[in-house]
Amino acid sequence: MPEKFGFQERVLDEASELWPIEYFLQKRAEWFIEKSGIEKYLKVGGQYLDVGTGRGHITQRVLADMETSGAPLKGYYGIDIAERPLRKVQKREATRLKKTTEADQGKNPMGFVWADGEDLPFQDGTLDGVSYIFSIHHMDKVMTGKVMQEAKRVCKPDGNIFVAEDIVDSDEQRKLTEDRDRLLNWEGKDAKHNYKSDQEWEEYFNGLGLEVVGRELFNSETRKGPIPHGFYVLRKKPEVR
């Protein structure tokens, strides 16, 4: 079921629609697209899905960029288990469509829905790619395993699975990353995070029958120091296709 919000969460949720936060999310989307290089892995006319899409700024930006560069996608759908961010995305999309000319109505279909990554509303082998952008470390190990199996199920044999994640290989790095995560996501002190080092991520993907075919390492620069991230491009190993 979609999550329930208490009073504090509702106040923060309303505040999050203010323009400085929208502006920050748009700038973050541009930063992520540039650092990860995700667009170079997308196929013209391809259909993609982002799991744990939050407020969808990244997929919206990718769709617009691909359209502008003459390589439009058929779709970059977004799902999230949290209902409220998605309502904001739908509101934003409705406003965008109102401002769009009739001829352009069918372009950049956003297709945001509430769904759980453990049970994707897509048929087997139908998508060109599935992305998880800083969403996996919010899931526990059992859930992550199920979620990644679902990505393998819905991806075409030559489809890509994209994972952007925080990279942590020391206690100091863990604290810095976790403090930042809690701040950006307005999480409580009890929120758990499933971080890994670069090598541990690779071993983890291998264990799931996925090989790393592309990798970008980059940092978020913060006042307390850099926070490392990895963007992994994964393919099903031939034996699991």
Residues that bind ligand SAM (CB under 6 A): 51-54, 79-82, 85, 116-118, 133-135, 138-139, 143, 147, 185
Residue 10's Cβ-count burial label (10 Å; 0-12, 13-18, 19+) is exposed
Cβ closer to ligand SAM: 55 or 241? 55
- In angstroms, give the least distance from the CB of 14 to ligand SAM: 17
Query: Measured between alpha carbons, how far apart are the two ends of the chain, in Å?
Result: 32
Cβ closer to ligand SAM: 73 or 148? 148
Contact 9, 17 (CB under 8 A): no
Cβ closer to ligand SAM: 65 or 211? 65
Cβ closer to ligand SAM: 138 or 236? 138
Contact 70, 139 (CB under 8 A): no
- In angstroms, give the least distance from the CB of 105 to ligand SAM: 26
- In angstroms, give the least distance from the CB of 82 to ligand SAM: 4
Enter the tokens of residue 52: 């744990």
- In angstroms, give the least distance from the CB of 83 to ligand SAM: 9
Coil/strand/helix, residue 174: helix
Tell me the C-alpha distance between 129 and 41, whole Å.
9
Helices vs strands, H then E, count in the chain: 7, 7
- In angstroms, give the least distance from the CB of 137 to ligand SAM: 8
Cβ closer to ligand SAM: 120 or 210? 120
